Amino acid sequence: MRVDLIALTLLVALGVTAVKASRSRWDALVLALLSGLWMLVNKGFEGPVIWTFDQSHGLTGSDFVGLAGLAIAGVSLLQPWLRRSAARQPTRSTRLR
């Protein structure tokens, strides 16, 4: 069984779900876990190194899929907190009263 194909399929499905409609923290946490898993099992999809850290470490195109998943999960997890903090900040019109 190809774990990398299963991880990629789940990563894409949860990424689309997180962007489209889901506001569940569980979805975001699972997406973050799958993104981390993808970074470990994506060896079969790696292409040329795009960004090199040192002689033996770098980022490939397939690594950016995992990074995008982590970014989407992070934004999904932070959205409720950002909405609450934005709602608490006084607007200019309320400060002038």
Answer yes or no: are the C-beta atoms of 2 and 41 closer than 8 Å: no
Write down the pLDDT at residue 22: 57
Whether pTM exceeds 0.75: no
Measured CA to CA, the distance from residue 83 to residue 62 in angstroms comes to: 32
**What is residue 45's predicted lDDT score, i.e. its pLDDT?**
77
Q: List the end-to-end C-alpha distance of the chain, in Å, as a whole number.
A: 66
Instruction: Give the whole-number percent of the chain exceeding pLDDT 70.
Output: 80
Per-residue pLDDT, 79? 79
Q: What is the dihedral of CA 15, 29, 76, 18, to 10 degrees?
A: 30
pLDDT tens figures, 41-77: 888 878 888 889 998 888 888 888 888 888 888 888 8
Q: What is the mean pLDDT of the chain?
A: 77
Write down the pLDDT at residue 82: 74
R_g of the chain computed on alpha carbons: 18
How is residue 90 annotated by DSSP? Answer: P
Q: Can you tell me the distance from the alpha carbon of 34 to that of 55, in angstroms, rounded to the nearest whole number? A: 27
Residue 85's pLDDT is what? 72
Q: How is the chain split into domains, by residue range?
A: 3-95
Coil, strand or helix at 26: helix
